[in-house]
Amino acid sequence: MKIAFASGKGGTGKTTVSLNLALALSDVQLFDCDVEEPNCNLFLGFELEKVEDVICSVPVIDPEKCSLCRRCSDFCRYNALAALPTKVLVFPSLCHGCGGCTLLCPEEAIRESHRFLGLIEKAKEGSSPEFYRGLLNIGETMVSAVIKKLQKHIDDRKTAIIDAPPGTACPVIASIEDMDYCVLVTESTPFGFHDLKLAIDVVRALKIPFGVIINRYGLGGSKVEEYCKTEGISVLLKIPNDRMIAELYSRGIPFIREMPEWNEKFLCMFEAIKSQLAGGKEART
Amino acid sequence: MKQLTVISGKGGTGKTTLAAAFASLAENAVIADCDVDAADMHLILKPRVLVKEDYCGLEIARFDPKLCIECGKCREFCRYGAVTENLEVDPYSCEGCAVCTIVCPEGAVSMEKRISGQVFSSETRFGPMAQARLGIGEEASGKLVSAVRSNAKKMAEQYYKDLIIIDGPPGTGCSAIAAITGTDLILVVSEPTVSGIHDLKRVIELAAHFMIQVVVCINKYDINEENTRLIEKFCTELGTPVLGRLPYDDIATKAMLQEQTVIEYAKNSEHASESEFANQVRKIWAKVEERLMDIPDEQKGMKILKMKNFS
């Protein structure tokens, strides 16, 4: 089973909740898909090893063969090629690696090289949970490509927990689109509530079953809870607005380690998700 | 005209709270909400929309089933996995590259306009504002950020504003890059948590990559004073100024519930801690303004040159 933790608004506790659940369960995989700012391992402290590079094809033009026909530069949707009177310039950082220019070139003057987008790392053998993360290179824009490569390491026989990036744009879609379930982590502030509704629109559009965790419960107001009730959305967990939790977080400690009573609560949440999915399947058949 | 971007790397550190407060303190600025996929600034500034336009980002492939012979070439050549087994376009994966139009032997593929969101030009109680809404599940958030910034620029010219305050997105990817390129100053809102520190380092690197000046402020500094000192220490080593510290306080949430900036909220507050919070924000803003004044205004320089040419 694949479960993602997403949020809309940033800083609502996706990483905290993913980590705590991964630590409460056994034999799970944890994926840090917030490749722009991966934070999970700050709390796990695993020794990481490189699994692979993530690359994107970019064209290299042979000026000897190029007849300056401009087909490549006219075609490129990303403005990565510019035809000058004497040569065609390539801007590798704008290229999305679609390969169209190579296909179109009548002189076979284009060959493909690549640029590095980032890398995939994993924790050394025997670590628990089994941990993978992606890391986007600084200055690189192709976030989804790194996320998709990272998710290739999901083992379908195991439970996979995915820590998704904030927002509702393409990196989030890439992180959650193949999931069996999505947990939306929010807080009951006006910003949290507003962005939760955006995130709900996304999971509904992708037709992914979902539930909500209210973090910093007690802060803000009761709007999130009321909304979930009216909409029939299950509230899986409420985490109080507790300074102790915030301080543990600041030191890089998953709070379940210092507050063992939460172990049970995370296990219950996992069971609730499973029964929601089982119920959903029954309802469909 | 100068541009200031507020970013953080990590989400939820207080970017919007601070940018909104700056909007209420700045004398002559346009506000741009560039966190387009989770835009919240409008919840505080309550903009009145003047102009609303659809925004078309990348195109999307459309297959004509009457012409399709199911050869599967489109699926074979698509590098984004955007053609399903049933030879349909998956709109969430299609990047609009148009490779399928080249490889289709029957000419069954055409590229269609795709509305990725809306951009708005608005007015608020603190001046003009540009914002956007990204369509559900749409790509092109970076392009939409650029569209918001170009709207903000237009408004700055139209209303004679000399500053654009940009509320940026979290992260270091496409949207964050679109929100900082070509700006004059970046303010990073950090927090003294292990994640906050890690993410701060990455955004400072990002700023260096694009050669933009950075200043830092530390929010919720008292949640871990040891980490706060750590941030101040490495910023000093890097030569990155730390403009101020803000305490862990519920004032941001309280102000948000009243649809006010922290500056407005503190005016009617009886709690000394809340007035003090607002004062600290004012101090940070004063330092930001000072920095901005020290930066040469390239565009102004160019305008003067142009006038000289005419005369």
Q: Which of A35, A246, A251 sits opposite B194 (nearest CB)?
A: A251
In DSSP notation, B43-78 reads HHH-PEEEEEEEEE-S-EEEE-TTT-----HHHHH-
Determine, for residues A99 and B79 on separate chains, whether the beta-carbon distance falls below 8 Å: yes
Residues B193-242 have pLDDT tens digits of 999 999 999 999 999 999 999 999 999 999 999 999 999 999 999 999 99
Please tell me the predicted confidence (pLDDT) of residue B57: 87
Tokens of A268: 């219950």
Please tell me the predicted confidence (pLDDT) of residue B310: 38
**pLDDT mean across residues, chain B:** 93
Which ranges of A152-242 would DSSP assign to H, the alpha helix? 170-176, 190-205, 223-231
CA A229, CA A15: separation in Å to the nearest integer? 25
Q: Report the residue of chain B nearest A192, measured CA to CA.
A: B40
CA A232, CA A251: separation in Å to the nearest integer? 37
B98 touches chain A (CB under 8 A): yes
Please tell me the predicted confidence (pLDDT) of residue B95: 92
- At B108, the amino acid letter reads A
Tokens of A184: 């939306």
Q: Which of A98, A176, A200, A223 to mutate to test the interface with B (most CBs of B within 10 A)?
A: A98
Please tell me the predicted confidence (pLDDT) of residue B311: 32
CA B68, CA B77: separation in Å to the nearest integer? 16
CA distances in angstroms from B187 to A204, B18, B198, B277, listed in the order given: 35, 10, 16, 18
State which fold the B59-113 domain adopts.
Answer: Alpha-Beta Plaits (3.30.70)
- Going by pLDDT thresholds of 50, 70 and 90, the confidence category of residue A221 is confident
- Residue A206 predicted with pLDDT over 50: yes
In DSSP notation, B97-144 reads --HHHHH-TT--EEEE--EEEEEEEEEETTEEEEEEEEPTT-S-HHHH
Q: How far is CA B181 from the centre of its chain?
A: 11
Q: Which of A100, A243, A250 sits opposite B98 (nearest CB)?
A: A100
How confident is the model over A155-163, as a mean pLDDT?
Answer: 97
Please tell me the predicted confidence (pLDDT) of residue B139: 76
Residues A84-118 have pLDDT tens digits of 999 999 999 999 999 999 999 999 999 999 999 99
> Which contacts (CB < 8 Å, 24+ apart) does range A154-159 have?
A154/A2, A154/A29, A154/A31, A155/A29, A158/A27, A158/A28, A158/A29, A158/A130, A159/A1, A159/A2, A159/A3, A159/A25, A159/A27, A159/A28, A159/A29
Quick one: B268 exposed, middle or buried, by C-beta within 10 A (0-12, 13-18, 19+)?
A: exposed
Task: Name residue B189's beta-bridge partners.
Answer: B217
Determine contact, residues A70/A106, Cβ cutoff 8 Å.
Answer: no
Determine contact, residues B30/B128, Cβ cutoff 8 Å.
Answer: yes
Contacting B residues, span 99-138, partner chain A, CB-CB under 8 Å: 99, 102-103, 134, 136-138
- At A38, the amino acid letter reads P
Quick one: B160 exposed, middle or buried, by C-beta within 10 A (0-12, 13-18, 19+)?
A: exposed
Q: How far is CA A71 from the centre of its chain?
A: 36
Do you know the residue count of chain A?
285
Tokens of B45: 């500034």
> Which contacts (CB < 8 Å, 24+ apart) does range A85-89 have?
A87/A61, A87/A63, A88/A61
Which helix (H) or strand (E) is A34 found in, with range?
A: none
Pairing of strands B213-218, B242-245: parallel
CA distances in angstroms from B122 to A198, A285, B47, B51, B183, listed in the order given: 21, 49, 6, 7, 22
Tokens of B178: 């679109």
Could you report the predicted ipTM of this complex, rounded to two decimals?
Answer: 0.93
Q: Output phi, psi for A259, to 5 deg.
A: -125, 75
**Number of alpha helices (DSSP H) and beta strands (DSSP E) in chain B:** 12, 11
Write the CB contacts of B44 (distance below 8 Å, at least 6 apart in sequence): B16, B20, B255, B256, B259, B260, B261
Domain residue extents for chain B: 2-53+121-301, 59-113
Contacts with B202 from chain A: Cβ below 8 Å = 36-37, 138
B301 touches chain A (CB under 8 A): no
CA A132, CA B106: separation in Å to the nearest integer? 43
Measured in angstroms, the CA of A104 and the nearest CA of chain B are apart by 8
- Going by pLDDT thresholds of 50, 70 and 90, the confidence category of residue A120 is very high
List the domains of chain A with CATH numbers.
2-46+127-284 (3.40.50.300), 58-116 (3.30.70.20)
Q: Which of A97, A99, A252 sits opposite B194 (nearest CB)?
A: A252
Please tell me the predicted confidence (pLDDT) of residue B299: 54
CA B200, CA B51: separation in Å to the nearest integer? 36
- Residue A159 predicted with pLDDT over 70: yes
Please tell me the predicted confidence (pLDDT) of residue B141: 84
Beta-carbon pairs below 8 A across chains A and B: 194
**Number of alpha helices (DSSP H) and beta strands (DSSP E) in chain A:** 10, 11
Determine contact, residues B16/B44, Cβ cutoff 8 Å.
Answer: yes
Each residue's pLDDT, cut to its tens digit, for chain B (311 residues) gives 999 999 999 999 999 999 999 999 999 999 999 999 999 999 999 999 999 999 998 899 999 999 999 999 999 999 999 999 999 999 989 999 999 999 999 999 999 999 999 999 999 999 999 999 999 878 778 999 999 999 999 999 999 999 999 999 999 999 999 999 999 999 999 999 999 999 999 999 999 999 999 999 999 999 999 999 999 999 999 999 999 999 999 999 999 999 999 999 999 999 999 999 999 999 999 999 999 999 987 655 444 443 433 33
> How much is the pTM?
0.93
**pLDDT mean across residues, chain A:** 95
- Residue A285 predicted with pLDDT over 70: no
Determine, for residues B195 and A12 on separate chains, whether the beta-carbon distance falls below 8 Å: no
The CATH code belonging to domain B2-53+121-301 is 3.40.50.300
